[in-house]
Structure 1
Amino acid sequence: MPAEDPPVHDDPGTADDPDRSEERLARDAYDELADSYAVNVRENAYNAHLEFPGTTSLVPDVEGERVLDAGCGTGAYTAWLVEGGAEVVGVDVSEEMLAHARDAVPDDAPAEFHQGDLAEPLEFDDDAFDGVVSALALSYVRDWDGVFGEFRRVLRDDGFLVFSTGHPLDQFGPDAPDAENYFEIERLTKEWDVEVPYYRRPFGELLRPLLANGFRLDDVHEPQPTEAFREQRPERYEKESTHPVFVCVRATAE
């Protein structure tokens, strides 16, 4: 997901449940954005040359492993995991995004796709996966205790979890004028061709629910732009080399 836009996705909400309504809006937005996003995620410097290398640097060898791509979007990580020898199950809330994800891998690839909401219980059995990768998807989920609890349930013991999200220091401050209280989980909206609601949270709320739901923290990576980023976005290279944009985390199921 490009840094200047919200970091990737529920069943319809109701007037009595504003969180679900906002999640529905995110789903609807990504249904509408799917075609342009499929191109953008491959070509945008923030995706291809900042977040993607940062996140993939934390993923262990996946040869022969069964991996859940949670919030798979248009399938960039699914394709990369398949190329690494994994059997991959991609889940996303947007059917339009899933259509692109299916096109991202060969017809005979060991990959399958399901429409699903990360804010709800996953449809998979306990201990069903060796690893979970969730790239720029969790910003659309308010309750990380619930989603990390589900990730732990579907992971075998010693399975890995790698996720990325917008860096709290990038999402709070002058570039996020609607953010009012760093210590709160706040609902913000970003304008990308359509309005996309998402949640920003303090750094502690990235890690507390992870540790509270049966994971051991292994690594935290704050990626810096690559040389390819400099070539593509020279006017942004210096700033993004000195200010965090994304944070990537690896943990192990205990």
Structure 2
Amino acid sequence: MPPDENPTVEDAYDKLSPTYETQGNDPYCADLEFPAMAELIPNIAGKRILDAGCGHGRYAEWLVDKGAEVLAVDKSSEMIDQARHRVNNQVEVRRADIGEPFEFADDSEFDGIVSGLTLHYIEDWRPAFTEFARILRPGGFLVFSTHHPLDDYIVFDTENYFETEQERMTWSASGEEIDVPFYRRPFSEVINPLIETGLQLDELIEPKPKETFKEKKPESYEKRLNYPTFLCIRALNTE
């Protein structure tokens, strides 16, 4: 089947949902991105946390296991079904687009927000970060991961590093090649939206793979020790 000429993220993830749990166990997630994110997330026992772009529920499950009260949202209805099955009714899971106003959340409702490998599907982060700042309580945290701008710049051989522009990843699922659109951006468009919306950068990690990555994907281990793949960031609501 030829690839869709105009794929949407929602359509792509609806198609990927039956096999996405396998993707989530991929070493790039399990042994590179996830450990760095877990390091940045503070003690959340008894805290109300938003999982923004929950996918199949990887972070929602982990957050509730750490004692948090979790609301998980995602745009893909198929991924929401996967997440609900995974968390077994321990988490409220709702359909919502984090690229739109957060009608599901009140001001200062959450102690923290976690968004794993989701924001790169949004072109302009300022509206989402404005909403993050609105719904966070004073002292609340935002922890998110995204593609590393340098990796995207090199992999997609772009002509202008400083532009924010749409690219496509191609993933395989059930014998079908699925195009997943996302936005690559310069480093300034990762940090400036935080500053402009009143959130304070607290810590940034450019993660390196764990030894378990080497066991699963030895052919990529040395490169990922010396080459950036993801950014993981913690920001605070200081207002």
Common fold: TM-score over 0.5? yes
Q: How does 1:1-254 map to 2 (within 5 A)?
A: 25-42=8-25, 44-107=26-89, 109=90, 111-123=91-103, 124-173=105-154, 175-177=155-157, 179-192=158-171, 193-254=177-238
Which residue of the partner structure matches residue 15 of structure 1?
none
TM-score of the two chains, using structure 2 as the length reference: 0.93
AA partner of residue 92 (structure 2): E
Q: Give the counterpart letter for 2:159 in structure 1.
A: E
Match of 2:8, SS? helix
For 1:144 and 1:166, the matched residues in 2 are separated by 14
User: What SS is found at the alignment partner of 1:78?
Assistant: helix
**Residue in structure 1 matched with residue 174 of structure 2 by the alignment:** none
- Looking at structure 2, the residues matched to 221 and 104 of structure 1 have their Cα atoms a distance apart, in angstroms, of 28
After TM superposition, give the deviation of residue 163 of structure 1 in Å: 0.3
**Residue deviations 1:99-158 (CA, integer Å, cap 9, x gap):** 111111133x2x101111111001211111000000100011111110000001111111
Give 1:190 deviation, angstroms.
1.3
Deviation at 1:189, TM superposition (A): 1.1
CA shift for structure 1 position 68:
0.2
How far apart in 1 are the matches of 2:228 and 2:70? 30
Tell me by how many angstroms 1:37 deviates. 1.0
Q: Which amino acid aligns with 1:116?
A: A
1:205 maps to amino acid: E
CA distance in 1, matches of 2:184, 2:147: 8
**What amino acid does structure 2 have at the position aligned with 1:142?**
E
Q: How high is the TM-score relative to the length of structure 1?
A: 0.87
* Distance in 2 separating the partners of 1:126 and 1:172: 37
Number of residue pairs the alignment of both structures matches: 228
Return the offset for 1:39.
Answer: 2.1
Q: Percent identity?
A: 48
RMSD over aligned CA atoms reads: 1.3
Deviations 1:184-219 (A, max 9, x none): 101111111311110000011100001110111100
Worse overlay, 189-198 or 71-80: 189-198
Q: Which 5+ residue runs of structure 1 have no aligned equivalent?
A: 1-20
Which stretch shifts more, 69-78 or 30-39? 30-39
**CA shift for structure 1 position 38:** 1.9
Shift of 1:180: 2.2
Counterpart residue identity of residue 189, structure 1: R
Is there any run of 5+ residues in structure 2 with no aligned partner, and where? 172-176
Residue 224 of structure 1, CA deviation: 0.2
